[in-house]
Amino acid sequence: MTYMNKIQLIQISWSPNETLFEIGSFGLHYYSLMFVLAFTIGYKIVEKYFEDEKISKEYLEPLFVYMVFSTLIGARLGEVFFYSWDYYQNHLLEILLPIRENNNKSLFGFINGYEFTGFRGLASHGAALGIIFGIIIFQLNYKLKSTLWIFDKLTVPVTLGGVFIRIGNFINSEILGTYTNSNFGIVFENRGEILPRHPAQLYESLGYLILFLILRKIYYKVNHIQGYLLGCFLSGIFSIRFFVEYVKESQGGFEESLPLLSTGQWLSIPLIISGVLIILYVNSKKKVV
């Protein structure tokens, strides 16, 4: 008997309650709680960075507001246009409202045909683009140091935020992995399944946690080199996303038009390349100086 045959593979049945508590038609979903944790801890991390560099905290609150709205709007529009336009083109009201059409439900007890869902169905690539545009707009209004300086400050908290969001996806039993074809994996019983899948959400969350620890470790060593952390962040986080996609179920999008890779992989490639180019550019400037 080989060593591998002696290993007892782990199979877990997963059927969690997705809602922390409910009040009437509304409820606090664990997924929403993960967002709250991500933004709250992220705020404290950036606050510490501002204190270290003696930057006035008057910039912190508006930066936080820009981040929250640009992340949520970008992530939502990314989901709509990258993955689910076939659905949302006929449900325009649901694009930016936390509701979903359901003939068996009522909203507020008197608006029939809709249910409150919270903000679910968000795309990380859309969030990345939303943050980029949001921070550029913030910088145009507040003129805080430089745009690259701001992006560098956000790399550590945003990476940690990705850890929480993927845990939220796991609790929601969404963004599923492929079947393992073995006794290892997660059986998502609340989706009516009986076969184990790869916990792709947890793979991705673990990858982001490792990247977070790396960025946090090198932050004070390379913080003076503007753009370096941003380059590491983009190339790192979307490389993780690219490789985890190999054990993810298709999420739709434009895979039929561009075969070979998933929609998530195609969207990750330009961001990985951007990260590498930023690192090369920063290194070249450093050598010249």
**Per-residue pLDDT tens listing for the chain (289 residues):** 344 444 446 888 887 776 665 555 555 677 788 888 999 999 999 999 999 999 988 999 999 999 999 998 998 888 888 888 888 888 887 787 767 777 667 666 666 677 766 666 678 888 999 999 999 999 999 988 889 999 999 999 999 999 999 998 898 888 899 999 988 999 998 888 899 999 999 999 999 999 999 999 999 999 889 999 999 999 999 999 999 999 999 887 777 777 889 989 999 999 999 999 999 999 887 654 3
Q: Which helix (H) or strand (E) holds 41?
A: helix 30-52
SS (H, E, C) 70-125: HHHHHHHHHHHHHHCHHHHCCCHHHCCCCEEEEEEEEECCCEEEEEECCCCCCCHH
pLDDT number for residue 129: 92
pLDDT number for residue 125: 87
Helix ranges, 172-199 (H): none
CB 62 within 8 A of CB 142: yes
Helix ranges, 143-227 (H): 147-171, 200-222
pLDDT number for residue 109: 60
Distances (CA, A) of 87 to 81, 82, 141, 204: 10, 12, 36, 27
pLDDT number for residue 19: 67
CB 203 within 8 A of CB 177: yes
Q: In Å, how far from its chain's centre is CA 177? A: 16
Distance CA 123, CA 156 (A): 19
CB 205 within 8 A of CB 170: yes
Residue 260's region, left for phi above 0, alpha for psi from -120 to 50, else beta, is left
The amino acid at 195: L
The bridge status of strand 185-188 relative to strand 111-116 is unpaired
- Provide the Cα torsion 227, 231, 237, 243; round to 10°: 180
